[in-house]
Structure 1
Amino acid sequence: MFKKHTNLRIAHLRYAKNQRFRFAAFGYLALYGSLDKKKLFGMIVNKILEKIENTRGLI
């Protein structure tokens, strides 16, 4: 039973991570328009890390 819940939790975390990435990407594009992929990826990663630090403290 515990393993089933663990697997569901992992699947949910992966889904949530993908959703946050999509929302961040589309939100950035809506604000700033098209941008090269490398710069966009860096901006998204920085935003995600910023949100993690705000919720957990420094990494």
Structure 2
Amino acid sequence: MEWRKSSRSNASDDGACVEVAFVPEAVAVRDSKNTSGPNLTFPTVSWDAFRADLRGKQA
């Protein structure tokens, strides 16, 4: 998987960030401080609804 860190992450966060990887029909999320640890996987439709909710919009 190709992991991407949030564009809002910066050095002052001490690495406290999440990373995401887009895979067919799903999005995986992991803790950037523990890259060898577990990750959570969400269906793409659920991820899209989550992002829309963060932006204050309905999916």
More strand by proportion, 1 or 2? 2
Note whether the superposition's TM-score is higher than 0.5: no
- The structure with the greater share of residues assigned to helix is 1
TM-score norm. by structure 2 comes to 0.27
- State TM-score, norm by structure 1: 0.27
